[in-house]
Amino acid sequence: MYPKLIWNLARIKTNCQIMVQECATRNLDLVGVVKLGAGQEKIVSTLIASGITTIADLRILNLQQFAHLPGKKMLLRLPMLSEVPTVVQYADCALISELATIKALNQAAQIINKKFEIILMIETGDIREGLWDETLIFQTVADVLSLSHLKIMGLGTNFACFGATVPTVAKLNQLALLKRQLEQHFNITLPIISCGNSSHITIWDSPQLDPAINQIRSGTALLMGLGLNDEPIPFLMQDNLWLEAEIIELQTKPSASIGERGLDAFGRIKEFDDIGNRMKAIIAVGRQDCPYEELTPFEKGITILGQSSDHTILDVTDYPGKLAVGSIVKFKTTYLANLMLGTSCYVKKEFLD
């Protein structure tokens, strides 16, 4: 069945083993983020077999699917109030920034007599989740310490997501300073500073970095070998995932549409360069599965022309090999492509051990 998203688990396992070693030498606890896998047990098992002891996802539904596997489970996206009972049941720890949610988590944890761990998220410039006001931070910690079934494990932050803010030593050292201020003020120990995602690799060897920074939440590095700005990490393996799609039509056709034009299927104006007749292939993948801008053909001589919701049109005139209806075309995939293909029920997942 096609289309297929192929996962090379052997290469991913190698990445995981390397990252476990690299993090250990830097006193970093490695949290394996598996949201690209949409809860697939084989992917999670690969990380666990590589020595990763904490698995994180942004969807509680995914955590439910591999709840039976060993290790700590962390929910990365701030919990919705409506899902709090399920979060407490299937996760051991959550990133959090809202007091109302914190109190709801405590109530739910009390009902099942579970000590639930939280990492308080601090806004450091990416303008996504996290507490910004220092007075509110201290007040929130005070409130958390009064709750019976929650344990605040430390502080966390995030970079290179919504605001595209890159991690810096100065920002993380400020977070370490805040940790010490909170510890002194409340006479507590906060053992964790969760410094962010795979982009942290760009600064993790800085001699000025505070040693209190001791946790990294990594997904793209482990699964794709990529870091900040989607750049390849030299000591990791890339091209660990790819898409395979089947040709459903192969014919010579005009390069430009014929007749009066309106809007395309997505309400856009289309323009074409009329370069005569071309050999075109249609594959059974569309924008509903993944935007074509996130795909790159492995083979030379194949150009992606565009998409409708369920079709992607290729120009294969310059392809040197032989193609036919039923032929399979292979594509490199970006992070966004893997995110969409990995969560689509219309795309088969295949795993290479």
Q: Phi/psi class of residue 307: alpha, beta or left (left: φ > 0; alpha: ψ in -120 to 50)? A: beta
Q: CA-to-CA distance for 268 and 271, rounded, in angstroms? A: 10
Using alpha carbons, select from 236, 334, 235 the residue that is nearest to residue 294: 334
- Output the 3-class SS for 211-253: CCCCEEEECHHHHHCECHHHCECCCCCCCCEEEEEEEEEEEEE
The crossing angle, in degrees rounded to 10, of helices 41-49 and 9-25 is 40
C-beta contacts of 255-260 below 8 A and 24+ residues apart? 255/315
Sequence-ordered list of residues with C-beta below 8 angstroms from that of 33, at least 6 positions apart, any chain: 56, 57, 76, 197, 217, 218, 219, 222
Do the bridges between strand 4-8 and strand 150-156 make them parallel or antiparallel, or are there none, so unpaired?
unpaired
CA distance 199 to 28: 14
Residue 154 DSSP label: E
How large is the angle between the packed helices 169-186 and 134-145, nearest 10 degrees?
Answer: 50
Residues with catalytic roles: 35
Distance in angstroms (rounded) separating the CA atoms of residues 155 and 112? 25
Q: In whole angstroms, what is the distance from residue 27 CA to residue 211 CA?
A: 8
Structure tokens at 200: 């942290």
